[in-house]
C-alpha cells in the first residue's frame, strides 16, 4: 500500500488524532468519516477511542503489538478498548501522562524521555515487552514527539543527528531517516499515522516528503 495523504476535518496534523500498530488503529472518537475511511488503508481494524474524554490519541497513547501505555485518567471503559486486543496496560501518572510525546515504540524497542525515572522506564519495558531506552532526539527530551516508529522503519525529527539516527536504529531494530512533513514541519509524530503496512501523512506534505517516508518506512 503506498504512502497516502489525509486530514481530519481539514486539519493536516493527523498524528494528533490517531495512533497505529500492526494490530489496530486507535482513532479520535470524533474523527471525520473521511479520516476514518483513510485510516482503513492501514489494513487493520479502526477503533474509535478517547482518553479521559479527549480524542487526542497521538498525545495520550503509545502502543505496540504487546501493550499500551495510557494516561492514568482514562476510564475503565476507555481502557477496555485496548484490553479487547489482549494488550498489557500501563497507566502513566503525573508529568509524563502525555504518553505519546514521551515514548515511541514498535515491536522491537521503545525510545523514552530521558527525564523519566528509571523505575518508570522499566515499567514501560515490562508493559510493551521490549527494552525502553532513554534518548534525546534533536536535543528534545520528548522523544515521542520527534519519532514515528513501525516494524519496518522509523521517521525522526529533521534535526536528528547521524549519531542519533544510529542509536534509533539500534533501539528500534529497523532502518529509518530524519525528515519533515506537512511542508517542513520537523515534529513528525503529529503529522503521520503509520504501521508496517502503510502510512498516512498530513495533506500538506509534499511529494518529496512522501517519497522520503516511503523509503524510510520501506513502504512500496
- CB contact at 8 A, 114 and 134: yes
**Helix ranges restricted to H, 12-161:** 33-39, 57-60, 76-83, 99-102, 118-128
The three cell numbers of residue 218 are 520501506
pLDDT of residue 220: 72
Mean pLDDT of 3-14: 97
pTM, two decimals, is 0.96
Checking if the pLDDT of 2 tops 90, the result is: no
Checking if the pLDDT of 111 tops 80, the result is: yes
The three cell numbers of residue 98 are 502525555
pLDDT of residue 201: 98
Domains of the chain in sequence order: 4-216 (3.75.10.10)
SS3 content of the chain, % helix, strand, coil (to 5): 30, 25, 40
% of the chain with per-residue pLDDT over 90: 98
Mean pLDDT of 121-125: 98
Q: What is the pLDDT of residues 137-179, one digit of tens each?
A: 999 999 999 999 999 999 999 999 999 999 999 999 999 999 9
Between CA 151 and CA 173 the distance in angstroms is 8
Supply the DSSP string of 105-143, one letter for each residue. E-SS-EEE-TTS-HHHHHHHHHHHTS-EEE--BTTBS-G
| Angle ∠(138,89,106) on CA atoms, nearest 5 | 40
Mean pLDDT of 189-193: 98
Between CA 55 and CA 65 the distance in angstroms is 21
The three cell numbers of residue 15 are 498524528
34 vs 8, 30, 39, 89, CA distance in Å? 7, 12, 9, 30
Q: What is the pLDDT of residues 19-72, one digit of tens each?
A: 999 999 999 999 999 999 999 999 999 999 999 999 999 999 999 999 999 999
Q: What is the largest CA-CA distance in the chain?
A: 43
Q: What average pLDDT is seen over the chain?
A: 97
Amino acid at each position: 500500500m503506498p504512502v497516502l495523504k489525509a486530514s481530519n476535518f481539514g486539519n493536516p496534523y493527523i498524528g494528533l488524532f490517531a495512533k497505529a500498530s500492526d494490530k489496530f488503529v486507535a482513532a479520535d472518537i470524533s474523527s471525520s468519516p473521511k479520516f476514518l475511511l483513510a485510516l482503513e488503508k492501514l489494513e487493520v481494524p479502526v477503533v474509535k477511542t478517547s482518553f479521559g474524554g479527549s480524542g487526542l490519541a497521538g498525545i495520550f497513547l503509545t502502543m505496540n503489538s504487546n501493550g499500551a501505555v495510557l494516561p492514568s485518567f482514562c476510564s475503565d471503559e476507555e481502557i477496555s478498548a485496548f484490553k479487547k486486543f489482549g494488550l498489557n496496560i500501563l497507566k502513566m501518572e503525573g508529568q509524563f501522562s502525555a504518553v505519546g510525546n514521551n515514548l515511541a515504540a514498535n515491536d522491537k524497542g521503545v525510545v523514552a524521555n530521558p527525564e523519566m525515572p528509571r523505575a518508570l522506564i522499566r515499567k514501560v519495558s515490562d508493559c510493551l515487552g521490549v527494552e525502553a531506552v532513554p534518548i534525546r532526539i534533536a536535543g528534545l527530551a520528548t522523544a515521542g514527539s520527534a519519532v514515528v516508529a513501525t516494524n519496518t522503519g522509523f521517521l525522526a525529527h529533521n534535526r536528528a543527528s547521524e549519531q542519533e539516527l544510529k542509536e534509533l536504529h539500534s533501539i528500534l531494530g529497523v532502518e529509518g531517516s530524519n525528515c519533515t512533513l506537512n511542508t517542513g514541519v520537523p515534529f513528525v509524530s503529529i503529522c503521520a499515522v503509520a504501521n508496517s503496512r502503510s502510512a498516512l501523512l498530513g495533506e500538506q506534505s509534499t511529494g518529496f516528503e512522501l517519497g522520503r517516508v516511503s523509503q524510510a518506512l520501506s513502504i512500496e
